[in-house]
Amino acid sequence: MASLPLLHHLIPSLPLPTSHTTFNNTSTTTLFFFSKNKPSLTLKCSSTSKLDQEQEQETIEFEAPLSQVWREIQGMNDWKGLIEPTMNPHLRREIIRYGELAQACYDSFDFDPHSKYCGTCKYHPSHFFHKLNLSHSGYSITRYLYATSNINLPNFFQNSNLASVWSPHANWMGYVAVITDKEHVKRLGRRDILIAWRGTVTYLEWIHDLKDILRPAFFSNDQTIKVKRLLNYYKDEEVSITITGHSLGAALAALSAYDIAEVRLNVVDNSERVPVTVFSFAGPRVGNLKFKERCEELGVKVLRVVNVHDVVPTVPGIITNEKFLFQKYIEDALSFPWSYAHVGTEIALDHKESPFVKGNKDLVSAHNLEVHLHLVDGYHGKGKRFSLASKRDIALVNKSCDFLRSEYGVPPHWRQDENKGMVRDGDGRWILPERPRLEAHPPDMAHHLQQVIDNHLPCQPQQEEIM
């Protein structure tokens, strides 16, 4: 942490008032300072007694409400000073919030091979957040997203003969939502458009997902058209576009952000850019160095949350990646097709620092999204003691894995639907109730598709490559 003279040197034109208090054997000095066109910040330096030496000794936090600093939290300055030396409380809460919205994709997905609705979302959009205990989120679903036919699906999807219910070439992968609650709009400081992607159903699916080499990027799909409609509808408001996902969903999130920015969907009045931010969890590399550079040129902000013991973020690109000194030469001169690079800023977490989880080499659990959210809640900065900031329920760790220490008495894989969705009908028979069909496309889809095409950049970027 910067010393007091250094802080005063950085802002020599302003006085540096301080206040000093002592309580519970703890001395605290609070410094107040301001910068032009920025919200006020407060830096707190605490020196504790020997009895409290293991507690946090430094915190840096925005005293201003989120509504005033949301652009910084969304990555306007690439999260400089918000992760290290101490995790910013606003940022931690936002990471967890978006992570929970990504987790909703798993919790709502029907992957029971015995269900006639296998491959679909369990819930109607109007009940989605309520069914997942996320009514407090303030979002409303505006569109469900489905995978295209080039996704490798498990055999139980491909062998299904229930094409009248769902297509093996278009299984449910996520959703588009927008903040509609006025109080949440006020708290966030803007209208947030959210895209959330589901990851792979099982860890082993990565064997199939990662077998492709790089191929040229392409544009325009259903989610970009939906975003265009929402941007037009809220054109007179402050708006942000946030994309989140875990595992394969994190890769799709990065590609979606690139897609939106490349076709200039986020450009308002041909000048102002609507911020496009990705909160990525346990994602793999998805493009080469040129793809990374193009994302940066377009202003796409990506915050990647990873567990250092998770294998997925290390692939593909084990041979040549962003850490390799001569990657640019290999790509430009040799046209090497297996060169990959991560995009954005990384938060590297370590599950062995949590006293609540097993410290074993369980690759499946190390990749689990709820484990990542648990680690974010306890992370305060490199070398700092693990301590749950929001007291997030540790039982969530075992929602779909077996990673909590046995002394906490939480059964593994505990989340399941009551009676697997079966209910009794009027005759007392147990049946799986019918689900209402969803409209395939809104009536004005063609109009907004044409707008996306018309706004496409005339000059394509050179050789951006994706998986």
- The candidate with the shortest Cα–Cα distance to 189, out of 376, 39, 303, is 39
Select which of 160, 240, 247, 400 is catalytic: 247
Among the options 367, 372, 374, 380, which is catalytic? 367
Q: Is 367 a catalytic residue?
A: yes
User: How many residues does this entry show for the chain?
Assistant: 467
Q: How many whole angstroms separate alpha carbon 101 and alpha carbon 244?
A: 8
Phi first, then psi: what are they for 290, rounded to 5°? Answer: -65, -35
Query: For 110, phi and psi rounded to 5 degrees?
Result: -90, 100
Q: Annotate 417-447 with b (16+ C-beta within 10 A) or e (fewer).
A: eeeeeeeeeeeeeeeeeebeeeeeeeeeeee
In angstroms, the CA 411 to CA 414 distance is 6
- Which is catalytic among the residues 222, 310, 339, 365? 310
Distance between alpha carbon 114 and the CA centroid of its chain, in Å?
31
Q: What's the rounded Cα separation, in Å, for the pair 119 and 146?
A: 10
**Beta-ladder partners of 43:** 31, 60
Alpha-carbon gap, residue 251 to 228, rounded angstroms? 21
Residue pair 424/430 in contact (Cβ under 8 Å)? The answer is yes
Nearest to 278 by CA among 196, 212, 191: 196
Q: Which two tokens stand for residue 424?
A: 């009794």
Residue 350 annotated in active site? no
Q: List all residues 6 or more positions away from 258 whose beta carbon is below 8 Å from its beta carbon.
A: 217, 287, 291, 294, 295, 298, 300, 464
Task: Please say whether the beta carbons of 368 and 320 come within 8 A.
Answer: no
Judge whether 323 and 350 are in contact, CB under 8 Å: no
Cβ-proximal residues to 418 (8 Å cutoff; 6+ apart), any chain: none
Residues labelled as active-site residues: 247, 310, 367
